[in-house]
């Protein structure tokens, strides 16, 4: 099999497994990956180019109400932030980061193919050229457990990823949570029924201790979406059990090399989880996931409130995942609503200006709320989206995801940025951001 065909095969596997976590047209371009631990001469200063003859697509009629509503909500919250004074740490001191999608643990064994490391090096080089200063790496439980197949190989893969990131002066935040077994988003099969809540949390704790001691990221988030872990494992994790697990894990971590340790929740989740840890001794930071804005921006308001309370308790604040969740408030119910249906909206290029507006909002929030680290989840859209008119509308999620990955990888290799990618690049270089055809 040719190298190009092998890479395409890996991408097809990757594409079908990354959609929920939070998830190349066939190009003749050959990836020439950096060598481990270094970037080739000049690679860090790749010139990012603009696709020729790019025009802003029209928002389809069926999405105009949603589009305008989301834009208005962001305008409202932006106005509030603009009236606030800056935090003690300016936004230019925040580590702005992106999810390293080709290192996401939900992919399982496909990560261990040697070609995947080359894809990660390429993406890291592109991130660095955009001005991105950090990455989030999701090491899913139980990939590193001693009884999990090829666990030692997964451990080496993630240690090598850290070397690649640090050789580029990129900060790394690692999150660890249950792998998406039993869903369309991961091929890994785990029989969670063999676990009790106690055994699951103990296994998770042991993996976190291993990550802290051997992978050695800059930030280690012990837990971030307890309700998601409950849903995946069908186990009941009360705020009290969750808090006890975090407290126990904190006490076992060796911080001698300077690791920062934190925990948090999704802003849409039960506030009882946050209340159980926000005053906890031993945590360096509180971590947030920001997706839906909620009715009257309730979840954005909650993020701001959590940040202020955390600082009063002497803790830093990070946002290890954020993205504009394209749902009306009435679609959310008490949480994320029909997540797969809603995430299927992300694929199309007419969202470009709205995603850029959200990026600016997160930069403003980082300043006003004094955030240490902010990471954008769907990093493939920095490079390309799908065209709504040219894409069949009867495709399933897996096929849409595959096409989006192909389009993104093609642009990634050519060093092209989408409108969103260019807007984020301007934000990170402290230039004026404009929103075309908002």
Q: Helix and strand tally (H, E) in the chain?
A: 14, 8
pLDDT score of 131: 96
| CA separation for the pair 198, 147 (Å, rounded) | 18
| CA separation for the pair 116, 153 (Å, rounded) | 13
Are 162 and 216 in contact, with CB atoms under 8 Å apart?
yes
pLDDT score of 334: 54
pLDDT score of 185: 73
Spans of the chain, pLDDT less than 50: 1-9, 17-53, 89-91, 431-438
| CA separation for the pair 105, 111 (Å, rounded) | 8
| CA separation for the pair 391, 364 (Å, rounded) | 34
Tell whether the torsion through CA atoms of 406, 410, 411 and 415 is positive or negative. Answer: positive
Work out the angle at residue 268's Cα, subtended by the Cα atoms of residues 314 and 221, and round it to the nearest 5 degrees: 45
DSSP state of 95: E
Residue partners of 110: CB distance under 8 A and separation at least 6: 10, 13, 14, 17, 116, 187
Work out the angle at residue 385's Cα, subtended by the Cα atoms of residues 371 and 54, and round it to the nearest 5 degrees: 105
Residue partners of 59: CB distance under 8 A and separation at least 6: 67, 350
List pLDDT tens digits, range 226-241: 999 999 999 999 999 9
Q: DSSP letters of 60-75?
A: PHHHHHHHHHHHHHHH
pLDDT score of 437: 39
pLDDT score of 28: 28
Compute and round to an integer the Cα radius of gyration of the chain.
Answer: 20
pLDDT score of 4: 47
Q: Model's pTM, two decimal places?
A: 0.88
pLDDT score of 136: 98
**Cβ count within 10 A of residue 126:** 24
Cα 197 to chain centroid, rounded: 26
- Which residues pair with residue 260 across a beta bridge? 219
Two structure tokens written together for 154: 């997964």
Residue partners of 55: CB distance under 8 A and separation at least 6: none
Q: DSSP letters of 116-168?
A: HHHHHHHHHHHHHHHT--EEEEE--BTTTSTTSTTHHHHHHHHHHHHHHHHHT
Phi-psi region of 128 (alpha: psi -120 to 50; beta: other; left: phi over 0): alpha
| CA separation for the pair 331, 311 (Å, rounded) | 33
How far is CA 263 from each of CA 115, 202, 241, rounded to the nearest angstrom? 33, 16, 14
- Ordered by where they begin, the domains of the chain are 3-35+62-428 (3.20.20.80)
How far is CA 422 from each of CA 40, 136, 146, 437, rounded to the nearest angstrom? 24, 21, 43, 15
pLDDT score of 87: 62
pLDDT score of 34: 38
């Amino acid at each position: 099999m040719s190298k190009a065909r092998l890479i395409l095969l890996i991408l097809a596997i990757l594409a079908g497994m990354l959609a929920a976590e939070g998830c190349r047209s066939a190009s003749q371009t050959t990836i020439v990956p950096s060598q481990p631990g270094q970037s080739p001469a000049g690679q860090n200063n790749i010139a990012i180019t603009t696709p020729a003859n790019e025009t802003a697509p029209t928002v389809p009629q069926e999405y105009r109400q949603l589009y305008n509503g989301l834009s208005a909500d962001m305008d409202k919250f932006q106005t509030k932030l603009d009236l606030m004074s800056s935090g003690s740490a300016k936004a230019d001191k925040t580590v702005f980061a992106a999810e390293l999608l080709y290192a996401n643990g939900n992919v399982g064994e496909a990560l261990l193919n040697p070609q995947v490391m080359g894809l990660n090096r390429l993406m890291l080089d592109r991130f660095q050229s955009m001005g991105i200063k950090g990455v989030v790496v999701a090491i899913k439980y139980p990939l590193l457990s001693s009884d999990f197949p090829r666990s030692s190989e997964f451990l080496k893969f993630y240690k090598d990823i850290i070397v690649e990131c640090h050789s580029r002066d990129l900060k790394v935040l690692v999150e660890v949570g249950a792998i998406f077994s039993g869903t369309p988003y991961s091929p890994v099969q785990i029989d969670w029924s063999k676990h009790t809540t106690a055994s699951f949390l103990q296994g998770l704790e042991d993996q976190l201790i291993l990550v802290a001691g051997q992978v050695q990221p800059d930030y280690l988030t012990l837990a971030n979406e307890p309700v998601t872990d409950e849903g995946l494992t069908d186990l009941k994790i009360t705020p009290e059990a969750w808090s006890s697990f975090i407290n126990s894990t904190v006490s076992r971590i060796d911080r001698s090399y300077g690791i920062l340790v934190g925990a948090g929740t999704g802003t849409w989740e039960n506030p009882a989880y946050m209340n159980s840890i926000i005053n906890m001794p031993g945590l360096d930071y509180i971590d947030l996931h920001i997706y839906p804005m909620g009715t009257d921006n309730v979840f954005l308001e909650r993020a701001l409130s959590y940040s202020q309370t955390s600082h009063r308790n002497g803790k830093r604040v990070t946002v290890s995942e954020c993205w504009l969740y394209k749902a009306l408030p009435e679609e959310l119910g008490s949480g994320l609503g029909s997540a797969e249906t809603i995430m299927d909206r992300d694929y199309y290029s007419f969202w470009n200006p709205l995603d850029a507006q959200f990026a600016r909002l997160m930069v403003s929030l980082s300043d006003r709320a004094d955030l240490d680290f902010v990471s954008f989840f769907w990093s493939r859209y920095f490079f390309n989206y799908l065209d709504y008119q040219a894409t069949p509308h009867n495709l399933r999620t897996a096929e849409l995801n595959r096409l989006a990955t192909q389009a993104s990888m093609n642009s990634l290799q050519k060093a092209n940025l989408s409108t969103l990618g260019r807007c984020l690049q301007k934000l990170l270089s402290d230039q004026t951001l404009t929103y075309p055809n908002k």
